[in-house]
Amino acid sequence: MTDPRPHIVDDDEAIRDGLQWLFKTRNLASSTWPSAEVFLDAVQPDWQGCVVMDIRMDGMSGLQCFDALRARANTLPVVFITGHGDVPMAVSALKKGAFDFIEKPFNDGDLVEIVMRALEADRLERANVQEQAAVNERLASLTSREREVMHLILEGHYNKVIGDKLNISMRTVEVHRSKIFEKAGVRSAVELAQLLKSSGHSGGG
């Protein structure tokens, strides 16, 4: 179950079965869940893929389930299936961060496309998270003096100025600088700044 796959949550057995068959014909393995409660009981943080969920179900509704997932910091993209009168509900779900919604009766081709995008989004998100973790790991290896020097570099100061500010020689600054570049795996101050920015660091420490 840890491979990326759509998780189909719907209280209607025919819908679940039909969607599973549909995904299967597009070479997508999927899991089905007869209710929101059952799915929430089973779901693990490391599950990948996406959730395809009916917004209106007996028992816990799709929206409640979505809220519960987000409360657990689960970032699985959620695609809602809505009925005719549920559109406003779906729109509010979108505003909360749902991936998309599709109205019944739906064009199955569209649904598959959406699910594909959701799977891709999930994959990218996970890669992004992983990269972030790597950067953090690299930055964590900097000494405190190196971190000070890094901040001043990012602020755009010359070595001489940094030396004056930290009351160290320009030579020492250059050593720190090369050490920092080496640890961060970058070759210039510009690259360093981009790395920090893309991984969500504001440059502060």
On whether the CB atoms of residues 192 and 180 are closer than 8 A, the answer is yes
Q: Does 34 bind another protein (CB under 8 A)?
A: no
In the complex, the smallest distance separating the C-beta of residue 125 from another protein, rounded to whole angstroms, is 27
How many whole angstroms from its chain centre is CA 120? 11
Residue of 41, 44, 45, 84 that binds another protein (CB under 8 A)? 84
Q: Does 88 bind another protein (CB under 8 A)?
A: no
Q: Does 106 bind another protein (CB under 8 A)?
A: yes
For the chain, where are the alpha helices, taking DSSP H only?
13-25, 36-42, 62-71, 87-96, 108-140, 144-154, 159-166, 170-184, 189-198
Q: Does 22 bind another protein (CB under 8 A)?
A: yes
Token pair for residue 77? 């993209």
Q: Does 203 bind another protein (CB under 8 A)?
A: no
Amino acid at 135: V
Q: Does 85 bind another protein (CB under 8 A)?
A: yes
Distances, alpha carbon 137 to alpha carbons 4, 46, 123, 132, in Å: 26, 20, 21, 8
Q: Does 147 bind another protein (CB under 8 A)?
A: no
Between 97 and 109, name the residue whose CB sits nearer to another protein: 109
β-pairing verdict for 5-9 and 100-103: unpaired
Residue among 42, 54, 67 nearest 15 (CA): 54
DSSP code at position 9: E
Q: Does 148 bind another protein (CB under 8 A)?
A: no
Part in contact with another protein (CB under 8 A); list of ranges 62-70, 76-84, 163-171, 192-200: 76-84
Q: Does 56 bind another protein (CB under 8 A)?
A: yes
Q: Does 15 bind another protein (CB under 8 A)?
A: yes
Residues that bind another protein in the complex, under the rule CB under 8 A: 12, 14-15, 17-19, 21-22, 24-26, 56, 81, 83-85, 104-109, 112
